[in-house]
Amino acid sequence: MFLWNINEHLITPESFASNMCQELELPKNVETQVVNQMRDQIQSFQELLSTPIPQLAQEKEFHVILELSVSIGDQFYSDKVEWNLLGNQLSPEEFAKGVAEDMGLTREFETAIAFAVHEEIAKTKRDLIENPQQVHQYTETLPFFNLCHQPPQSTGETSTMMELQGLRYDTRKYGDEFRPHLETLSEWEIEKRETEKERNQRRRKRETMRVGGGGGSGFEGRSDREKKKRYDELEGTWRVF
């Protein structure tokens, strides 16, 4: 697992794989597999970056909640942050470096946290592209964390929701959910936390799909052509939405 500059021109996946396999004394067929996997993932991210989200075309900011979890050895880092999906003022690498310095973490954590942020951003963008109704879902849930800002008189439901994205003021838990945690856990406990996170993500996605698209479940009465079939990797089953 490592970060790769999608605009890299000085080194190719082929030369990277060749050097890595030489250093680790791996057979030639492993080198070919590494190159193929790198090419597939690079192409996937390039397609993701080049695909716009029409509902956000006129927006300058769009905030989402990222749930991060990183384990190195028996150290388990978890955090929940609000991230501007359309902004570039703060990169995942800069965020990770600040967290590592503030918490006195090793350099391994810095790279792993940056990777986790990139991964969550990519997942969120992919979900918004595949299921545009989630745009409204995000803007509808975020205001629950915002008690400072009173929205203007409604001129349109979506625009009013966008206005609510801003400074958070939490008098219930005083931001306890939005702070980093570092725990020492056993391998079984770390695996359990990761499984719970994946289950919660799938549950929230199902809830969003259920309420999206208007009345009822939002998917009743759809023709077979309009329904989407997706593979759930964790459960190993196909689901039709």
Cβ atoms within 10 Å, residue 82: 14
Encoded tokens for 147: 């008690």
Q: Where are the domains of the chain?
A: 13-41, 61-149+160-211
Tokens found for residue 196: 């719970």
Q: What is the pLDDT of residues 74-112, one digit of tens each?
A: 888 999 888 888 888 899 999 999 999 999 999 999 999
Q: What is the pLDDT of residues 39-59, one digit of tens each?
A: 999 998 888 888 888 888 888
Cβ distance 62 to 159 under 8 Å?
Answer: no
Helical segments of 104-186, H only: 107-130, 134-141, 157-163
The two tokens of residue 6 are: 């999608």
| Contact assessment for residue 209 and residue 220, using Cβ atoms and an 8 Å cutoff | no
Structure token pair of residue 134: 């989630």
pLDDT tops 90 at residue 18: yes
Round the average pLDDT of the chain to a whole number and report it: 77
| pLDDT band, residue 176 (cuts 50/70/90) | confident
137, 55 in Cβ contact below 8 A?
no
Interval 107-165: pLDDT, tens: 999 999 999 999 999 988 988 888 887 777 666 656 444 444 445 555 555 444 445 44
Token representation of residue 73: 């050895």
Q: Decide: helix, strand or coil at residue 182.
A: strand
Task: Identify the pLDDT of residue 225.
Answer: 44
The more confident residue out of 37 and 62 is: 37
Q: How far is the CA of 214 from the CAs of 61, 136, 221, in angstroms?
A: 25, 11, 12
Q: Residue 178 is inside which H or E element, if any?
A: none
What secondary structure letter does DSSP report for 171? Answer: S
Tell me, what DSSP letter sits at residue 76? Answer: E
203-229 pLDDT per residue, tens: 766 665 665 544 333 333 444 444 454
Confidence band of 62 (pLDDT split at 50, 70, 90): confident
